[in-house]
Amino acid sequence: MRALVLGSTAAIAIAFGGSAFAQFSAALNESEATAREARASQQRIEQLDDQTTALINDYRANLKQLEAATRYNASLNRNIQAQQRQLERLRTDIDNVAGLQRGMQPLMEDMVATFADLVAADLPFNLEGPDGRLARVDRLNKVMGDPSLSAAQRYRLIIEAYQIENEFGRTIGFYEGVVDDDGTARTGEFLRVGRIALMFKTADDSVLKIWDKDQKAWVDLNKSYLPDVRLGLRMAKEQTAPALLPVPVKAPVKSGQ
């Protein structure tokens, strides 16, 4: 192609002379320079287009990251606000607990006093021994004066004692012990039927007694109840299946009579 142009140029130079050839040559050089600049400009345009595309992609990616960060920060702010509200509730609860503890002390003292009164006024069963009811009353009094125990621990021990007492009203039980029979110590077995009746009999069945709440003393029980007492003892010892058990109970008396 260059040879063709040169050939054409030589032909034109012969045809038009030196002056015209110089003008044509200058125009040709200028055209080539323009073409080179156009190619360079196109390359720069393509580079700029690539850079622009890369910047746009980076911008879009940054927008997505910004949106994700904004949503994440909003979520964190909600969590912080929720935690602040929870802290406020905890502070309020702590203040209430302090007031509750001050009110719990006299309440627990009253509960222990009432527990002692209940044992004293109840049928006199399971009173003696380290696991007896009187020992339980004594332990509760000591608990109330123990500075190493928290209010919650004291309250739990008091409630456990009441639960044990509550069970006595729903069960039958037996234990061995001694009864003072007009100055004579009688050894035998006690049968407790809930809190309804507390009976006693000797091993040879010669003595059969029942606790009289009104007299607060042991009184003789009619021997006709001896088979029922025997059955009750076997039931309490789980030697026989539960069954209906006749129990001597005084008829209720109207107030004022």
How do residues 197-241 score in pLDDT, each as one tens digit? 999 999 999 999 999 988 899 999 999 999 999 999 999 999 999
- pTM above threshold 0.75: no
Q: Domain residues for 198?
A: 172-236
**Total residues found in the chain within this entry:** 257
So what's the pLDDT on residue 158? 95
Query: Does 187 share its domain with 114?
Result: no
- Res 12 pLDDT > 80: no
Same domain, 31 and 88: yes
Asked if the structure places residue 80 within a domain, the reply is: yes
Q: Are residues 90 and 194 in the same domain?
A: no
Digit-coded pLDDT (tens) for 140-175: 999 998 989 988 899 999 999 999 999 998 999 999
Q: DSSP string covering 68-117, please?
A: HHHHHHHHHHHHHHHHHHHHHHHHHHHHHHHHHHHHHHHHHHHHHHHHHH
Kindly report, residue by residue over 70-91, the tens digit of the pLDDT: 899 999 899 999 999 988 888 8
Residue 46: how many CB atoms within 10 A of its CB?
Answer: 10
Last residue of some domain: 62, 97, 124?
A: 124
Indicate the number of domains in the chain.
Answer: 2
